[in-house]
Amino acid sequence: MQQIADSIRHSIRNNHLKSYVYSYPSKRSYKSLHNIGITEIWHTGDRGPASIYIHIPFCRYRCTYCTLFLTTQHTEDIIQNYVDKICEQIKFYAKYTGRKTVASVYFGGGTPTILNEKQFGQIFSSIQHGFPNIASSAELCVEGSPDSMSEELLDFLKSQGVNRISMGIQTMDSAELKASGRPYPVSTTISAVENIRKRFENFNLDLIYGLSGQTYESWQNSLRHIVSSGPVTISLYPAISRPLTAIHKQQRLHPERYIDDQTKYAIYDSNVEFMQMNGYRQESFTRFTRLPENSSAYAQETSDFLGVPMIGIGAGARSYNGKYHYSFDYAVDLNEVGKAIEDYLNLEITEHSMVRYGIVLDAYEERLRYFILSLTLNQLSGTYYSSQFGRNLYSDFLDVIDALEADGCIEPPSNDKIRLTRKGYKYSNLVAHHLFSNHVKTLEERYVPR
């Protein structure tokens, strides 16, 4: 642990910027699983809470910074066949998990709003029949893009119980939109935001800083515009260059068009000031919200990080329950994704075919997962840790906690909670990456992007 603490200090001093931690372990650590079936992972009759994630991998275009599991090569028949397969998978899972209380349903992608009303209705009907115990407080969220947020679709989603919309805007600058691979005008974004605002109190808008050719002034203009539209939540992501993305190649050819990590951190600092001045509280490195302190701006992620089981539906969805984390094959390259979707559509759904790739965590990894993810969300609790694992949080992670406090990343522990300072939020993803176990780091290093 002391070595980890020293490496964290070194990275903070050098302003290293790591990618946003949205899971642990990530799919890059997954490998083939054998002889593990659904009945081993999910216990029939369990009424505990669970979240449902629906993965829709279809997009009209691929943005230059995107590493999501998606395809732009699809037909109406392929999309409908995919929806049919999703409903088949929901029905299958319901036999094992249908008595659980559904805490949240999230449609991610891809671009889920590429589906039409009939297709959304088909999926919602399958969920309601298979999982009748949807909590009255459940968050039902759909992601989408500005060029697919029609008034008619939004009205239909609201009629189905959707109570949160999340839309990736990324920029309000025409040149930056074009350079990012988005073929629509800024006016389309303005109309989409207005369509959402009229229908949903709870909505999130994403922006990205560090795009090709973006200046500090153009970034500030985008941010001011979005804040003025009044979303409950705004997520601000630094552009990260990853293998197989267009910007990964562009940065090597035209580095002058991109800002460095130190400049991104400077923009981050100004973002925090600006958001707080406009009534937003910080919930994570990326997320700012006007919701009160005791509520979550993104319920599914919060539940996920606290260990609430996830039922993943679709070709790119991740599932987990306790020590079992699994999915289908993972890819980024369009040809590889196309093959994976074809395999999914042709799959005979059985107890063992659902569990193809993944990782089985040991007891230490389960504890580490809670520590890493809860720290990034400012939700780390000694009492919760003890109730889940029967151990003392401070004994298990004393060196790291002491190092983070000494470096000013957390407040002095009190009242059971470990709270991030402003500096702690800033470097929370960096800290999280350093806390990855040697086993998971080795698996990720061996992963070959495809």
Topology of the domain covering 27-305: TIM Barrel (3.20.20)
pLDDT of residue 330: 85
Write the pLDDT tens digit of every residue in 88-129: 999 999 999 999 999 999 999 999 999 999 999 999 999 999
Contact partners, residue 3, CB within 8 Å, separation at least 6: none
Q: How far apart are the C-alpha atoms of 31 and 355, rounded to whole Å?
A: 11
The residue written with tokens 């302190």 in the block is: 293
Domain ranges within the chain, ordered by starting residue: 2-25+363-446, 27-305
| Mean pLDDT within 48-67 | 95
pLDDT at 361: 98
Global pTM?
Answer: 0.96
pLDDT at 318 over 80: yes
Q: Could you count the other beta carbons within 10 Å of the beta carbon of residue 109?
A: 24
User: Residue 86 is encoded by which pair of tokens?
Assistant: 């999703």
Residues 328-349 have pLDDT tens digits of 988 888 889 999 999 999 999 9
pLDDT at 110: 95
Instruction: Report how far residue 67's alpha carbon sits from residue 247's, in angstroms, rounded to the nearest whole number.
Output: 11
Q: Please, what is the Cα angle at 203 between 200 and 208, to 5 degrees?
A: 150
* β-pair type (233-238, 287-289): antiparallel
Burial 2-35 (b: 16+ CB within 10 A, else e): eebbeebbebbeebbbbebbebbbbbebbeebee
Q: For the domain 2-25+363-446, what is the CATH code?
A: 1.10.10
